[in-house]
C-alpha cells in the first residue's frame, strides 16, 4: 500500500507545482488557494507512505537511493509548508514543490521502475522529450538575442544623448524600441520554461527504464537541472523584484551559459545523449 500512497502524493505534488507557477509568477490568487491545500494533502499521503515503508521493514533508517530520495522530498515539502504557515509566504513554492515532485518521481515508480508497453510508445515519448528541450533551447536563444539587442540599443541611446554624441560605430536604427525588446525576451522565457520542464519530466521517466540510477550522475542531466533552476530564478526575480532592462539581460546571459554547459555536457556524457543508441 505504501507505493499507492506515494503515487497519489506524487500526482498531487505535480498538480501543486503546476499551480504554484502562475500563482507566484503572475500573482493569480486562485491558483495559490489550490496549490497550498493540494500540497498539504500530498504531504500527508507522503508521510503515511514513508512511515509504512519504514515500519514494515522494522527500521527507521532509509536504505537505498529511492528511499533516501523519498524522505528528502518529504523534508523539502515539510519545510516549505512550515515556512508558509509561520511566515505566510508562498514564493518558495516554485522551488520547493517542483523539487519535491522530482525527488518523489523515481521512488513512486517502484523498485522495478516503469516499463513502457512497447518500443513504439517509448520512441514516441523520446521524440516529445527531445522536441520539448530543443524548443526550450530555441526560445531561450531568442530571449538572449533580444536581451543582447536591448543592451546595444540602450547603449546607443545613451551615447546619442551625450553632447556631440551623434555618431555611432554601428547603425542600429533598425532595432525595435527597448520596451518591445524587453517584451520579446520575457515572452520567449515564458515559452521556453514549460518546454524545459516537460522535457526534464519526460526524460526522467525515459531514463529510469534504460539507464537507471546512473541517469542522475550524468553531467548533462545535472547541468539541465541547474539550468532549470536558473530559469526559475530568472522568472521569479522578473516577477517579484521587477527585474527589467540591463540586469534582466545579464541574468538571461547566465541562463544562456547554463544552456551552453548542457550542450557541452551532452558531448562528453558517457551515460546518454540525444544521439545515443
What was the pLDDT predicted at 140?
82
pLDDT at site 45 = 96
Residue 179 pLDDT: 81
What's the angle, vertex CA 211, arms to CA 208 and CA 214, rounded to 5? 95
- The string of DSSP codes covering 47-62 is HHHHHHHHHHTT-SS-
Question: Mean pLDDT, consecutive 10-residue segments, the chain of 277 residues?
Answer: 90 92 79 94 95 85 80 94 92 86 82 68 85 86 83 75 53 75 83 84 73 61 73 72 65 70 64 49
Residue 121's CB is within 10 A of a number of other CB atoms, namely: 10
Residue 211 is predicted with a pLDDT of 61
- Position 89 scores a pLDDT of 86
pTM of the model: 0.70
Q: Quick one: pLDDT at residue 276?
A: 46
In angstroms, rounded to a whole number, what is the distance separating the alpha carbons of residues 127 and 254? 28
State the pLDDT at residue 277. 42
Amino acid at each position: 500500500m505504501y507505493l499507492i500512497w506515494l503515487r497519489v502524493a506524487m500526482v498531487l505534488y505535480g498538480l501543486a507545482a503546476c499551480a504554484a507557477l502562475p500563482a507566484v509568477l503572475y500573482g493569480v490568487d486562485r491558483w495559490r488557494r489550490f496549490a497550498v491545500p493540494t500540497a498539504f494533502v500530498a504531504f500527508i499521503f507522503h508521510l503515511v507512505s514513508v512511515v509504512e515503508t519504514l515500519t514494515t521493514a522494522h527500521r527507521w533508517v532509509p536504505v537505498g537511493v529511492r528511499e533516501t530520495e523519498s524522505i528528502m522530498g518529504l523534508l523539502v515539502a515539510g519545510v516549505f509548508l512550515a515556512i508558509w504557515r509561520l511566515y505566510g509566504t508562498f514564493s518558495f513554492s516554485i522551488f520547493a514543490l517542483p523539487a519535491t515532485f522530482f525527488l518523489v518521481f523515481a521512488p513512486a515508480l517502484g523498485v522495478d521502475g516503469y516499463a513502457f508497453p512497447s518500443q513504439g510508445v517509448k520512441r514516441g515519448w523520446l521524440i516529445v522529450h527531445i522536441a520539448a528541450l530543443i524548443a526550450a533551447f530555441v526560445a531561450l536563444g531568442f530571449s538572449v538575442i533580444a536581451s543582447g539587442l536591448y543592451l546595444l540599443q540602450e547603449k546607443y541611446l545613451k551615447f546619442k544623448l551625450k553632447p556631440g554624441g551623434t555618431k555611432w560605430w554601428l547603425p542600429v536604427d533598425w532595432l525595435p524600441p527597448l520596451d518591445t525588446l524587453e517584451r520579446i525576451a520575457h515572452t520567449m522565457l515564458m515559452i521556453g520554461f514549460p518546454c524545459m520542464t516537460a522535457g526534464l519530466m519526460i526524460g526522467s521517466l525515459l531514463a529510469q527504464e534504460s539507464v537507471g540510477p546512473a541517469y542522475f550522475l550524468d553531467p548533462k542531466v545535472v547541468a539541465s537541472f541547474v539550468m532549470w533552476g536558473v530559469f526559475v530564478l530568472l522568472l521569479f526575480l522578473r516577477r517579484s523584484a521587477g527585474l527589467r532592462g540591463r540586469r534582466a539581460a545579464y541574468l538571461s546571459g547566465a541562463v544562456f551559459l547554463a544552456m551552453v554547459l548542457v550542450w557541452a555536457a551532452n558531448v562528453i556524457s558517457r551515460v546518454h545523449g540525444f544521439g545515443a543508441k
